[in-house]
Amino acid sequence: MARNFMVNPSRYIYLVMLKKAFNFMLMAAVVALSACNSSDVTPDKKITFDHLELDQAESAWYGQDESGEATGDDDLTTYHSELTADIATVNNYFHKTPAYGYWGSYAYSNQTADTSFDPEEKDKGTFFSYQFVAVGSNAGQYLVYNPGFSGLNNIEFNQSTEIKSISVNNLGVTYLSIMNGDGFAKKFEDGDWFKVTFTGLDAEGKETGAQDFYLADYRDGKTDVVSNWTNVDLSGLGAIKELKITFDGSDQGDNGLNTPKYLAIKEIAYQ
């Protein structure tokens, strides 16, 4: 036998209105949460180096125009320049003797040339022509870091800054040394490694933390060599005023690390 259910009209209207009110409050909460999330999350800002002037494509500046502030004498003159990008400043030192010139700290480049290399030329000038070529790079300008022999090597910020990441790559001179060896360093074999360490310094010069990144890793059966731009997470360093960059590796000699100490830097993200 079928059963007839009687529905109280007033109760039915009440339930419908209650459901509509609940749906409205749910939608309002979602909108409010979305608005809160979008306002709370600040997009990262990026320090880039495309604004630094180069006269032409496939070129680099490392102080060779002697435009920096000069100190020293005729036997050895040092030209010091500051390079500024957004909130960051780095230094360049070009050293000039009567016979030759050499640079240290930071330069910049847009070179994209191929890094193929004949091992028979490893003792010739051809090898060091790759000190301004970022491996696999074809996008804009980038910093080139080489600690050199003296001067200010840290990246300095004009305020305490939380660095989120840094985009880095191997330079051709380092890449080719790892792959083929050179007049000073050996070709990498099982167990070899080459790394860069990023250390944060606060306004008082105290270390806030450090982050290692392997530019080449032949340990435990690996044959990894960085050959394109790679983001390194530096969020663990906290608020810093300076970023110190140092190198270490397995190929050591009487004068320290044999592997060429170079690093390409494309951009730095911060908040």
Q: Is the confidence at residue 3, as pLDDT, over 60?
A: no
Which pLDDT tens digit goes with each residue over 13-41? 444 454 555 454 555 544 444 444 544 56
What is the structure's pLDDT at 13?
A: 47
What value does the mean pLDDT take over residues 118-122?
71
Which pLDDT tens digit goes with each residue over 77-114? 999 999 999 999 999 999 999 999 999 999 999 998 87
Q: What is the DSSP letter of 235?
A: G
Which pLDDT tens digit goes with each residue over 207-234? 999 999 999 999 999 999 999 999 999 9
Let me know how long the chain is: 271
Query: How many whole angstroms separate alpha carbon 223 and alpha carbon 213?
Result: 15
**CB-based contacts of 263, cutoff 8 Å, min separation 6:** 144, 145, 168, 169, 170, 171, 196, 215, 245, 247
What is the structure's pLDDT at 7?
A: 44
What is the structure's pLDDT at 140?
A: 83
8 A C-beta contact, residue 144 and residue 264: yes
